[in-house]
Chain A
Amino acid sequence: MSIDEKTVRKAARLARLALPEARVAPMVGELNAILAWIEQLNEVDVEGVAPMTSAVEGASLPMRDDKVTDGNDPARVLANAPKTEDGFFVVPKVVE
């Protein structure tokens, strides 16, 4: 499977990554080179193999007690924000 400019533009849109027009064609080439190399995975017989979704065998996600252990510290939460006002994050307008 090789990808074209349309697919690259779509992936960039999905990833919220502005891709300048001049970068689209080179990116198609770069991604296709990598994908062509990845194609060899099709040689592997994976019939009946369960996908490995965790690096730890038989691990189950532990549940912790439903207790508040942290928080109520807006100053720390906001400390790195590009823009804040009155204890809130200031973001671009979302609803017109």
Chain B
Amino acid sequence: MSDLTALTLKSALDGLEKKQFSSLELTNAFLANIEAANPRLNAYVVVTAEKARAMAKASDKRRKKNPGPLEGAPLGIKDLFCTEGVRTTACSNILGEFTPTYESSVTANLWRDGAVMLGKLNMDEFAMGSSNETSRFGPVINPWRRGNEDTNLTPGGSSGGSATATAADLCLGATATDTGGSIRQPAAFTGTVGVKPTYGRCSRWGIVAFASSLDQAGPIAKTVEDAAILLRSMAGHDPKDSTSLPVETPDFQQACGRSIRGLTIGVPEEYRMDGMPKEIEDLWAQGIEWAKAAGAKIKAISLKHTKYALPCYYIVAPAEASSNLARYDGMRYGARVQGKDLADSYEKTRAAGFGAEVQRRILIGTYVLSAGYYDAYYLRAQKVRARIAEDFRAAFEEVDAILTPATPSAAFALGEKSGDPVSMYLNDIFTVTANLAGLPGLALPAALDKKGLPLGLQVIGKALDEETVFAVAAALEKAADFKARPTNWWS
């Protein structure tokens, strides 16, 4: 039974149902993997072994009566989700040893459906980063390497722990969050599937806030179908989040089996960036061929404000972050540094608690919201955001889904981009538009580059039409037949 951890979520759920193994056996197999791998991969920042075993035992008992859709499935949870009684820090020093006395709605939904928590996953501090290097616990390492080189590569960010844990069989799947690409970019870098659903599909309640008009939770999983199963449990209306949409959650898993014959898939010209590596261009062309072969029609579309999406994001997101992060004052929770008076305590607490990238974004956000600059920056960015959303609205009158590359490159080495914020930000060039427009986007592995690293494609859909996204992604997944796995050097 040593290969239990290599199962997909779907096959693990089937095996549990057929009583081929218990949730406790499965959970113990993952805990053993984590113990062996974590010193090198640094994916987990808290391992909840005892809690996991207790949840697994309870699940094994429940199986006899009324098993849930995720009954007995061990999952990893990004450290941005508040988990009752389990330290949650958003991988920031400012949260100290914060231990929530409540559970986020998304994770509560998973436990309601029978899932087991293995622990909390590493991430960029407050989800601000594309390489996991801003975490207070140090970077996560990508299980994938360039050929025989032993250079440590980034798993991407901010959900790097979720991506590495899923790719290295340290969980069946993981929760993640995506504000500008933080689910899809790490999924692309690790050969996993990541979904950012429509804004409002998943409740944000109990998730540490970064940029509230952009943040969405979603899964990272081994297959498109696994992601569909996880998203169905995570999603759902929640009265505790006023932006959570009061809509039914469709059966995403069923949508994975839909034919895409007759669908029209848009290919945006503006995503053909100057200097785009040929491998990415080839991958995209291949994806287009796969969609055609599955019976879809391809249509060139124009999303003409694409190049403004990232600069727009880097006003909107820091502005919202500077406001959201104002709550960290060291008074009610988190680490406090005592100063000579109240203001001094605030300033010292925040200077000591926030890392360099977070401080940079707070300062940008504060500046673009400050008197005299608000109109020139923030208001203009909101107008450009409206233009970007309008581009998509027009495109979706002609097409059912949009196909693009997921990232402009394969995973890069740690330290390679950390000295230049703008070059780091450019990682999200293909993903950030979906956040600004509130649309669902999915990244799936499609090929390996020359050095043997995974590359991903992205499918973007209409608001609340994740079903078409899953159908297209499942068809591409089938055509790509991506079976490559990283060689285990880490345990």
Set B214, B308, B350, B386: member contacting A41, Cβ < 8 A: B308
How many chain B residues sit at the interface, stated as a range, is 35 or more
Contact (A51, B379) CB under 8 Å given A12-B363, A34-B314: yes
**Interface members, chain B 357-377 (any A CB < 8 Å):** 359-360, 362-367, 370, 373, 376-377
**Interface members, chain B 379-397 (any A CB < 8 Å):** 379-387, 389
B350 touches A18 (CB 8 A): yes
Set B348, B382, B422: member contacting A52, Cβ < 8 A: B382
Q: Which of B6-14, B44-52, B119-127, B335-343 contacts A (4 or more CB under 8 A)?
A: B335-343
Q: Which residue of A lies closest to B362 (CB)?
A: A15
Chain B residues with Cβ below 8 Å from A41 are 308, 311-312, 315, 380-381, 384
Chain A residues with Cβ below 8 Å from B101 are 76-77, 79-80
Set B339, B362, B365: member contacting A92, Cβ < 8 A: B339
A11 sits at the interface (CB 8 A) = yes
Chain A residues with Cβ below 8 Å from B245 are 56, 59
Main SS of chain A's interface residues? loop
Main SS of chain B's interface residues? helix
Set B214, B311, B370: member contacting A55, Cβ < 8 A: B214
Total A-B residue pairs with C-beta atoms closer than 8 Å?
Answer: 166
Chain B residues with Cβ below 8 Å from A92 are 338-339, 341-342, 345
A89 touches B305 (CB 8 A): no
B200 sits at the interface (CB 8 A) = yes
A14 sits at the interface (CB 8 A) = yes
How far is the CB of B311 from the nearest CB of chain A, in Å? 4
Chain A residues with Cβ below 8 Å from B463 are 56-57
Set A30, A44, A64: member contacting B308, Cβ < 8 A: A44
Please measure, in the bound complex, the distance between the C-alpha atom of A43 and the C-alpha atom of B343, giving whole angstroms: 40
Q: Which residue of B lies closest to A16 (CB)?
A: B346
Give the A-binding residues of B (Cβ under 8 A).
96, 98-99, 101-102, 199-200, 213-214, 239, 242-243, 245-246, 305, 307-308, 311-312, 314-315, 322, 326, 329-336, 338-339, 341-348, 350-351, 354, 359-360, 362-367, 370, 373, 376-377, 379-387, 389, 421-422, 435-438, 463
Q: 10 tightest A-B contacts by CB?
A: A55-B438, A51-B382, A80-B333, A46-B383, A55-B199, A18-B347, A18-B351, A52-B386, A76-B101, A82-B336
Contacts A/B (CB < 8 Å), 22 sampled: A3-B367, A15-B326, A15-B365, A16-B326, A17-B354, A18-B344, A20-B351, A31-B360, A33-B422, A34-B421, A44-B383, A46-B387, A51-B382, A52-B383, A52-B385, A52-B386, A54-B213, A54-B243, A64-B239, A80-B98, A81-B333, A92-B342
